[in-house]
Amino acid sequence: MQHARGSGFWALARCMLLFCLVLALEVHAQASRNLAPGFVARPEASRLVIVPADIELFSMSGGGVLEPRADWTAAAERHFQAALEAHQALRGGSMVRLDEKDLDELSEVNALHGAVAQSVFLHHMMGIMRLPTKNDSLDWSMGEGVQLLREKTGADYALFTWVRDSYASAERKAAMVAMAIFGVGLVGGSQIGYASLVDLKTGRVVWFNDLRRASGDLREAGNAAETVEALLRSFPPAR
């Protein structure tokens, strides 16, 4: 009887060990999915520039049409940038700030990031029409398009962010309730975001993460900080 109990103990121990091993492998696989091959962390002495986020907020009409809201967007830009600069994971190394006069000149670089990030999101994170040449790894680059940013700031790395956020209007919420009575589900607002850490020497995207959800609110500082926390949840610290 004692031998049977001992065998049961070791069987349970082996199961627990196997479970922990599988969990660790899943965590590692997810972390690897966010990192470019061979990249682990930026050097502690490296300089990081936080590029002002490409953000736009919308109100969803009763019919589901997205209508831009400049006032919401302006508030979101302030809250989001403040949350980025205060985020603990970004504080390792030196942080470089962009001058206001440089922002317009660098708008094309931000637009380039939006295009590259969309491609990474679709082909790598979502797995839609996977590109065989990528071998299922984070292998994207912004190329020479980031050289102007490096020249302007002297930074080694840049953090780019792209966010689109929408909120159901009162009319939309009323329509959602009315259609729910008939068993028809209407979508409300959503929050979609991309974040990329780019090596400015090579243009290579060395870390990427995305955010896709029906919650979140960038119109208030506290909620904007929560969105930044979610978007940067796997950001590699400097070391």
pLDDT at 27: 37
pLDDT at 74: 96
pLDDT at 100: 67
Report residue 224: phi and psi, to 5°. Answer: -65, -40
pLDDT at 23: 34
Token pair recorded at residue 16: 């627990």
Parallel, antiparallel or unpaired: strands 54-60 and 66-68: antiparallel
Domain 40-231 has CATH 1.20.120: no
Which stretch of 127-136, 142-151, 154-163, 208-217 has the lowest confidence by average pLDDT?
Answer: 127-136
Q: What is the dihedral of CA 126, 60, 79, 233, to 10 degrees?
A: -20
Q: Hey, where are the domains in the chain? A: 1-34, 40-231
The yes-or-no verdict on residue 62 having pLDDT over 90 is no
Q: Each residue of 16-51: pLDDT tens digit?
A: 443 333 333 333 344 578 999 999 999 888 999 999
Residues 57, 78: Cα–Cα separation, whole Å: 13
Q: Are 149 and 200 a contacting pair, CB within 8 Å?
A: yes
Q: Are 55 and 227 a contacting pair, CB within 8 Å?
A: no
104: confidence class by pLDDT, cuts 50, 70, 90: confident
The yes-or-no verdict on residue 165 having pLDDT over 50 is yes
Tell the residue number behind the tokens 């002495």, with chain if given.
45
Residues 128, 131: Cα–Cα separation, whole Å: 9
CB atoms within 10 A of CB 70: 9
The yes-or-no verdict on residue 186 having pLDDT over 90 is no
Q: Are 83 and 224 a contacting pair, CB within 8 Å?
A: yes
Q: Are 116 and 142 a contacting pair, CB within 8 Å?
A: yes
